[in-house]
């Protein structure tokens, strides 16, 4: 890590912000935070190349909040985010970091949300507004959002906003804010359109990118599990049941999480302990000593606390929370495979953190393979194995069993039962609290793994082409025959459908513009009459001709439900013109 000794208190954050950060349990600033916070506090514009999971939200929220004037209710900070989910998430983060600032208000605004409620809340005033570009533009046009005293503006996931066709809206909004504002742009990638926004609207921005050249040892097997279908703790428990491990170091992000996870593991019968930066050196060393001496099998650690730990028997590293960057990843997994032994590193990746996984693979020039969570049958087999192992150990030892010989022999004779029957009953009793036979619900397949397996089979991948989030629950993806080449904008499409088909904007989901067509998410219970009405609407002179989206031509992924029918078989709702 690049943040060897830096702490949050070194960063000149305001007292209430610092207090909130301490409360949240962050130990040290992440690399992007260590670089961005001083620059933003110094009043500079920044361009941050960072993806979700790097701690980028706190990287702008903490310094900006440190400068907010809570005695005034006008909007001082505006964050533009591509999706409603991100807007909500960022607003929640602001709320958390401002927990010690009374009189503070943050307001998320996004399309599909009740307009009247938003207007009311805007009137009441919020120092921070986090919104999607379309809705922010709406409010600016209606004069319901006043940005005349705006001091800070953030473009979050700028490349995603570009991909979703919001870039003109973003420029328009930038032009309607004071030129004196401080601007921070965050983007995982830097396509030329984003570069152009940065050069046009930012003042000599400081570019922040986290060094990403790292090497991992070849003696460490690396796998990841995409969090889906079950929570991380249950997944972890399943893995621990079947992984033959000696000792494990697990990594989490916060001090609080080290303690919580260690307690949960202990409650499940593992000998686990937490190690974090709150512990003094002596206690920390004593804990590591216990791991060495096999008094402890699992250590739950933060990056800082685990730095430099060198214990040969560590057979596994589990990244329960994904690290901020590949450098931290390399440090973490280097805690296993010590002294020439082999080791295994398991990484948990939430769907939102997918890009961080790709970044780690890229930086380490190594592919991390997807793992399947052990099934009920696999866990059963492991438990049965253990059960027999216990029996074998006694058989092979010189344990005196004569007392039991008499006891059970007599019992069988008295009850007139076969010794086999008795063995069954005893086996049943032995495992009652922890049944040998495990039945588990099947876990949903991991979309990234599926996609990779498809591309491994030589099928076309949609990466870079129609890479996108799938539709939200209750929505289905459709295709309409108007796109960028027709100068269509998401706002035009939403407006036309809302006005002409009478669909509420809340019912209109994600829109993605492509050159000659667009995709659009609509409720999957929409009736045929509504579909036909939408199909006949004109936007920019083009009839929409709504049809179910089948994803990129033929074999490509991206279509909901994994249907890859050729395009010419698509279901049309109308052929009006
Ligand atoms: P982000 O990249 O902003 O989406 O943040 C990813 C996650 O990292 C969030 O769950 C944050 O709460 C967490 N996080 C951010 N900064 C820190 C930090 N300095 N220490 C520990 N966790 C952090």
Which residues, 6 or more positions from 199, have their beta carbon under 8 angstroms from its beta carbon? none
In ligand 1, which atom is closest to the CA atom of 254?
21
Spell out the long-range contacts of 451-457 with Cβ–Cβ below 8 A and sequence spacing 24 or more: 451/557, 452/370, 454/555, 454/557
**60-107: pLDDT as tens digits:** 999 999 999 999 999 999 999 998 888 999 999 999 999 999 999 999
Residue nearest to atom 20 of ligand 1 (CA): 26
Predicted pLDDT at 214: 54
Q: What pLDDT digit, counting tens, does each position of 125-142 carry? A: 999 999 999 999 999 999
Return the residue whose CA atom lies nearest to atom 14 of ligand 1.
55
* DSSP per position, 119-172: HHHHHH--SEEEE-HHHHHHHHHTT-S--TT--EEEETTHHHHHHTT-HHHHHH
Q: Rounded to the nearest whole angstrom, what is the distance from the C-alpha of residue 52 to the centroid of ligand 1?
A: 9
Residues 6 or more apart whose CB falls under 8 angstroms from that of 234 comprise: none
Higher pLDDT, 486 or 447: 486
Q: Which residue has the higher pLDDT, 339 or 213?
A: 339
% the chain with pLDDT above 70: 87
Rounded Cα distance between 517 and 483, Å, is: 4
Check whether 17 has a pLDDT greater than 70.
yes
Q: Residue 24 CA: which ligand 1 atom is closest?
A: 12
pLDDT at 575: 41
d(CA 271, CA 509): 47
Residue nearest to atom 13 of ligand 1 (CA): 55
Q: What pLDDT, on a 0 to 100 scale, did the predictor assign at position 324?
A: 84
Residue 497: pLDDT band with limits 50, 70, 90: confident
Q: Rounded distance, CA 262 to CA 267, Å?
A: 9
Residue 197 pLDDT more than 60? Answer: yes
- Band (572; pLDDT cuts 50, 70, 90): very low
* pLDDT over threshold 50, residue 467: no
SS3 173: helix
Closest-CA residue to 569 (of 547, 538, 537): 547
262 three-class SS = helix
- Of ligand 1's listed atoms, the one at least distance from the Cα of 56 is 3
- Amino acid 454: pLDDT: 58
Could you write out the three-class secondary structure of 64-131? HHCCCCCCCCCCCEEEECCCHHHHHHHHHHHHHHCCCCCCCCEEEECCCCCHHHHHHHHHHCCCEEEE
Residue count of the chain: 577
User: What is this structure's pTM?
Assistant: 0.59
pLDDT confidence of residue 22: 93
For each of the domains in the chain, give its residue range(s) and CATH number, in order of start.
Answer: 8-209 (3.40.50.300), 220-375 (3.40.50.300), 377-431 (no CATH), 456-571 (3.30.70.330)
Taking only the tens place, the pLDDT of each residue in 300-343 is 999 888 877 888 899 999 999 999 888 889 889 988 887 667 89
Atom number, ligand 1, closest to the C-alpha of residue 51: 2
**What's residue 211's pLDDT?**
56
Going from the C-alpha of 221 to that of each of 331, 347, 454, the distances in angstroms are: 15, 11, 22
Q: Which atom of ligand 1 is found nearest the CA of 30?
A: 19
More confident: 184 or 52? 184
- Is residue 79 within 8 A of residue 93, CB to CB? The reply is no
Identify the pLDDT of residue 46: 98
Q: Of the segments 207-216, 417-426, 495-504, which one has the largest average pLDDT value? A: 417-426
Cβ atoms of 29 and 37 closer than 8 Å: yes
Within 6 A (CB) of ligand 1 lie 26-27, 29-30, 33, 52-58, 253-254
Residue 514 Cα to ligand 1 middle (Å): 33
Per mean pLDDT, which range of 42-56, 236-250, 366-380, 488-502 is the poorest? 488-502
353 CA distance to ligand 1 centroid (A)? 11
Give the span between the Cα atoms of 361 and 107, in whole angstroms: 37
């Amino acid at each position: 890590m690049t943040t060897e000794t830096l702490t949050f208190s070194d960063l000149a954050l305001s007292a209430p912000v610092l207090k909130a950060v301490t409360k949240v349990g962050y130990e040290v600033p992440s690399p992007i935070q260590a670089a961005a916070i001083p620059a933003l506090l110094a009043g500079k514009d920044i361009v941050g190349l960072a993806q979700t999971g790097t701690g980028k939200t706190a990287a702008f929220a903490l310094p900006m909040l440190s400068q907010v004037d809570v005695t005034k209710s006008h909007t001082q900070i505006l964050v533009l985010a591509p999706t409603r989910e991100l807007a909500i998430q960022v607003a929640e983060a602001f709320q958390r970091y401002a927990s010690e600032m009374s009189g503070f208000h943050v307001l998320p605004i996004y399309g599909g949300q009740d307009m009247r409620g938003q207007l009311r809340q805007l009137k009441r005033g919020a120092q921070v507004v986090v919104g999607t570009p379309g809705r922010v533009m709406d409010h600016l046009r209606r004069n319901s959002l006043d940005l005349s005293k705006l001091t800070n503006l953030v473009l979050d996931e700028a490349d995603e906003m570009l991909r979703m066709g919001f870039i003109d809206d973003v420029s328009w909004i930038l032009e309607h804010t004071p030129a004196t504002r401080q601007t921070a742009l965050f983007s995982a990638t830097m396509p030329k359109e984003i570069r152009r926004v940065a050069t046009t609207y930012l003042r000599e921005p400081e570019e922040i990118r986290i060094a990403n050249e790292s090497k991992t040892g070849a003696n460490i097997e690396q796998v990841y599990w995409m969090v889906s279908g079950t929570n991380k703790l249950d997944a972890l428990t399943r893995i621990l049941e079947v992984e033959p491990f000696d000792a494990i170091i697990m990594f989490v992000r916060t001090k609080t999480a080290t303690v919580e996870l260690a307690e949960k593991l202990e409650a499940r019968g593992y000998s686990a302990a937490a190690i974090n930066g709150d512990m003094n050196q002596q206690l920390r060393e004593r804990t590591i000593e216990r791991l060495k001496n096999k008094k402890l099998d699992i250590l739950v650690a933060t990056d800082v606390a685990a730095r430099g730990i060198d214990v040969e028997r560590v057979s596994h590293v589990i990244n329960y929370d994904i690290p901020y960057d590949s450098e931290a990843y390399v440090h973490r997994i280097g805690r296993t495979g010590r002294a020439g032994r082999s080791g295994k590193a398991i990484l948990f990746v939430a769907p939102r953190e997918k890009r961080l996984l790709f970044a780690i693979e890229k930086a380490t020039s190594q592919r991390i393979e997807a793992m399947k969570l052990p099934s009920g049958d696999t866990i059963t087999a492991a438990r049965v194995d253990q059960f027999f192992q216990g029996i074998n150990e006694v058989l092979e030892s010189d344990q005196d069993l004569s007392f039991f010989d008499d006891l059970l022999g007599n019992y069988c004779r008295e009850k007139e039962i076969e010794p086999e029957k008795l063995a069954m009953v005893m086996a049943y009793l032995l495992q009652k609290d922890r049944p040998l036979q495990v039945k588990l619900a099947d876990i949903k397949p991991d979309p990234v793994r599926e996609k990779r397996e498809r591309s491994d089979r030589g099928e076309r991948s949609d990466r870079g082409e129609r890479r996108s989030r799938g539709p939200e629950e209750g929505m289905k993806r459709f295709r309409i025959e108007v796109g960028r080449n027709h100068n269509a904008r998401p706002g035009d499409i939403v407006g036309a459908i809302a006005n002409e088909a009478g669909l509420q904007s809340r019912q209109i989901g994600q829109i993605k513009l492509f050159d000659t067509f667009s995709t659009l998410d609509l409720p999957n219970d929409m009736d045929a009459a509504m579909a036909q009405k939408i199909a006949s609407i004109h936007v920019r002179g083009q009839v929409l001709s709504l049809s179910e989206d089948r994803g990129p031509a033929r074999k490509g992924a991206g279509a909901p439900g994994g249907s890859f029918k050729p395009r010419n078989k698509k279901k049309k709702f109308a052929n009006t013109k």
